[in-house]
Amino acid sequence: MEKKASESVVVMTELVLPNDTNNFGNLMGGRLMYWMDIAAALAAMKHCSAPVVTASVDNISFESPIKIGNVVHIEAKVTRAFNSSMEVHMKVWGEDAIQQYRYKSNEAYYTFVSLDPNGKPRKVNGLIPETEEEKKLFEGALRRRQLRLVLGGKMKAEDADELRALFTKD
């Protein structure tokens, strides 16, 4: 069975409180990553209708700090399903609700594995991208996956067909 990418969308909103911040009054990166992991897991679970575990987190770069008292918006969506794993893309914005403006904080990709009742990987539903952005993310997901596998030592660089130009000389 296949599902549309839009069926996996999760939007999570949090208020940045004093306990969430560092000495500079900025949201701690670890706290944001924790919230992102929850949002991404919910999106993956919506797609596969099963429990999931985090398999990998891609590089997370922080563009803009989110200040104490601001609101965090995390939008998570499955971009591609493989055999038992799914890639989830997240966009994160901060919002100053008093001054009425929103700003991009960061974006990232997380990978989740679907589990059967015995805690073993299980096959997931295919994914149907519909919008231009969903199609672009879907197409790039195979390259990102191969890069993750190569960097994680689970695939030899020469076997990464989608990345061959990066790792071999012609």
Report pLDDT digits (tens) over 82-99: 999 999 999 999 999 999
How far from 20 is each of 36, 92, 153, CA to CA, in Å?
A: 14, 16, 35
| CB within 8 Å of 61: residues ≥ 6 apart | 106
The confidence band for 142, taking pLDDT boundaries of 50, 70 and 90, is confident
Six-digit token string for 43: 């999106």
Q: Which element (helix H / strand E) includes 28?
A: none
Which CATH superfamily is 2-129 part of? Hotdog Thioesterase (3.10.129.10)
72 pairs with which residues across the strands? 14, 94
pLDDT value at position 41? 98
Residue 1 in this model has a pLDDT that exceeds 90:
no
In this predicted model, what pLDDT tens digit does every residue of 22-74 receive, in sequence order? 999 999 999 999 999 999 999 999 999 999 999 999 878 889 999 999 999 99
Distance CA(58)–CA(38), nearest Å, equals: 15
Between CA 152 and CA 38 the distance in angstroms is: 23
